Structure 1
Amino acid sequence: MLTIYAPAKINLVLEVLGKYDGYHQISSIFQTINLCDTLRFQLAEGISFKCSEPSLERNNLVTKAATLLKKATKYNKGGRIELGKNIPWGVGLGGGSSDAASTLLALNKLWELKLPVSELVYLAAKLGSDVPFFIYGGTALVEGKGEKVTPLPSLPLTWFVLLVPPLAKIQDKAKQLYSRLDASHFTKGQFVQAALPSLRQGKTLAPILMFNVFEKVAFDFLPNLAKYKKSFEEAGAASIYLVGSGPCLFTFVSEEGKANELCLRLRKQGLECYVASSFPG
């Protein structure tokens, strides 16, 4: 049996540069964190999939990734795949995309295919815009539709507290939020360019360099998100940011102990929160 840990991600910077050929073009800095799903793989005749959250078994990206890889390589066997879901889904943390990328990486090893990273990235792009990043993990510049990934030096050990507001799941949330962006929200990559020198020197990103375009539309689109941001602030979070298209929120914390204290204060209010650290690729 092969066991793989699929990490969640946050966006340190997320810009939308415009729309080309029907797709939004992004410039973003992604960072994996050590909040992980667990996937287990065994050789089998066909492909089978079970998830600790049964509602996620249908049309799961894990099955799609395994089927795509089998078809692309004409591999004549399959695999039994089990997913232990720890990453909250539908909140911007990229768990499904990470699971898909981990499936490509794991089956490439289990099936002894020896595909190069470039081929895995090509296949990953067929599964979703965030999937290519997770082939690399760590800290990376992500451009285009998400298919252009440039690894960066690993972020120094950094602690985060994540707050997952108890909001109803919205189908096609990211798509709906993208549709609310217009030309006034588009930028020219200046926020990413301002952040890159610090990251290339292996430094932690200063809060002033953080940016997420979806913060301009998410608080109108997602009911009560502002209320939970205020709860986060009142619990002691200094600077609060949206993860991807949300609704998950996060803040930097200087030490693990302080992160645990902040998380405990939120949990005493009945809120779902997590302490996580940066996770290298």
Structure 2
Amino acid sequence: MPEHPSHARKRKLLLRAAAKVNLHLRVAPPDESGYHPLMSWMCTVGLFDTLTLERAEGDEQIGPAAPDRAAADALVHLECDDPSLPRDKTNLAVRAAIAVIDALRSEQQTPRQSWPHNQPLLRIWLEKRIPVGGGLGGGSADAARVLLGLNRLLELNWPIDRIRAIAATLGSDVPFFLEGPSGVVTGRGQVVRPLPPPRPRWVVLVLPGYGIPTRDVYRTFDELRLGDRQAVDAQPDWNQWTELSAGPLMQRLINDLEPAAFALCPRLANLRQQLEQALARPVRMSGSGSSLFTLFDNFDEAQDAVARITNSWPVKALATSVAPAPEDDLADQAN
């Protein structure tokens, strides 16, 4: 008997992955293991990648019964509209899907879906809008949405703690994107404390068009002997900070990676300085760069700033919302 439409299993999910900015980022010197403990207030912003996840149909199952004919990465196929982006397991979205497949195999769980013998088990279409290497967390956002999406698409019903454990193995920003839209991240990124979004609800993003390798930024950070463990451990009064308007809040925000990034890329340092002078307000860098941002209390002011920036510098800039609620199939609980 055919399934009732209300109980039919989905074959495809449409997901939107929001970028983030590190509003406030304190970084300590590396610990004994070589990792840099951090404390960051992160918030999603209205710049989205779009992912479509599609499971195959057939008679083959993921889990212990999944085929041994191929490695897990051969079972995931990614297509992307950005030709510069890798499509193999170096792409975080693919790694997230592989991690789910591996977890199913190792835990001896077999979901109800079945799969064909002669094609990938999962197809991912990625429309890339978040700049690569800009400090906006696009790859991590994609990975988090894949984890949440597969939990829904494969009807795994994993508790969020199970998904968090996988996310922590993929990268320091991935756990935040499971929790968003606003939170304080500590440790190596695996501890996320939800926080109300800031009172200013508009951000201007400045996208210079070039990236800075994160590895190089941290290497320079260490060479310059930057970082303060006490600053990482001593958290601000977040309740007060979330109520501040744009001007006073921007004055308080710090990014400890800026000196290292600016030492590596003087033209980014010059751009930031010129923007601050032209806009008469602080401008911060997100993550390890190269994207810059500043907050506004109303949209008209933000739009005016974008016009001034794009008329004066050969960069992209956009005004968008802070802590948007993505509308996609994960929010569509009726289907």
What's the % identity of the aligned pairs? 36
TM-score by length of 2: 0.77
Which residue among 206, 220, 235 is the counterpart of 2:263? 220
- Residue range with higher mean Cα deviation, 185-194 or 63-72: 185-194
Q: What is the aligned partner in structure 1 of residue 76 from structure 2?
A: 47
Q: Deviations over 1:135-166 (max 9, x none)?
A: 11111111111111111123335111111123
TM-score by length of 1: 0.90
For the pair shown, which has the larger CA radius of gyration, 1 or 2? 2
Q: What is the aligned partner in structure 2 of residue 180 from structure 1?
A: 220
CA distance in 1, matches of 2:289, 2:47: 16
Q: Deviations over 1:52-97 (max 9, x none)?
A: 1022133211111101111102356432211111111101000011
- Residue range with higher mean Cα deviation, 121-130 or 263-272: 263-272
The 3-state SS of whatever aligns with 2:78 is: strand
Runs of 5+ consecutive residues of structure 2 not aligned to the other structure: 1-11, 58-74, 116-120, 326-335
Q: 2:46, 2:323 within 8 Å by CA — same for their partners in 1?
A: yes
CA distance in 2, matches of 1:127, 1:237: 39
- What letter matches 1:185 in structure 2? G
Between the two proteins, the alignment pairs up a number of residues equal to: 277
CA distance in 2, matches of 1:208, 1:257: 21
Shift of 1:129: 1.0
- What letter matches 1:176 in structure 2? D
Query: Superposed, which structure 2 residues align to 1:1-281 within 5 Å?
Result: 1-20=12-31, 21-44=33-56, 46-58=75-87, 59-74=90-105, 77=115, 78-156=121-199, 158-167=201-210, 169-170=211-212, 173-182=213-222, 183-189=225-231, 193-199=235-241, 206-236=249-279, 238-269=281-312, 270-280=314-324
- What letter matches 2:291 in structure 1? C
- What letter matches 1:32 in structure 2? T
Change (3 A) 1:191 1:250: farther
Which has more strand, going by share of residues?
1
Q: 2:182, 2:197 within 8 Å by CA — same for their partners in 1?
A: yes
Q: Deviations over 1:237-278 (max 9, x none)?
A: 511001111111111122111111111222223321121211
Change (3 A) 1:83 1:198: same
Question: What is the root-mean-square deviation in Å for CA atoms of aligned residues?
Answer: 2.1
- What letter matches 2:221 in structure 1? L
CA distance in 1, matches of 2:301, 2:233: 28
